[in-house]
Amino acid sequence: MSFILPSSNHKARELMGDMASLAEILNPANAGKLPTTIEARNNARRTLEANDCAKRVVSVVLRGDDERWLMSFGRRGGARKEWNFGNGRIVR
Greater model confidence, 51 or 2: 51
Provide, rounded to the nearest whole percent, the portion of the chain with pLDDT above 70.
95
Q: Is residue 53 part of a domain?
A: yes
Q: Is 5 part of a structural domain of the chain?
A: no
pLDDT in tens, 51-71: 989 999 999 999 988 899 999
**Full domain range(s) for residue 28:** 11-84
3 vs 23: CA distance, rounded Å: 9
| Number of domains present in the structure of the chain | 1
Please provide residue 51's backbone torsions phi and psi, each rounded to the nearest 5 degrees: -130, 105
Q: Which long-range contacts link 33-38 to residues 24+ away (Cβ below 8 Å)?
A: 34/60, 34/61, 34/62, 34/68, 35/59, 35/61, 35/62, 36/61, 36/62, 36/63, 36/64, 37/61, 37/63, 37/69, 37/71, 37/79
Q: Is residue 72 part of a domain?
A: yes
Instruction: With cut-offs at 50, 70 and 90, classify the pLDDT of residue 91.
Output: low
The answer as to whether 67 is a domain residue is: yes
Does residue 3 form part of some domain?
Answer: no
pLDDT of residue 7: 84
Indicate whether 91 belongs to any domain: no
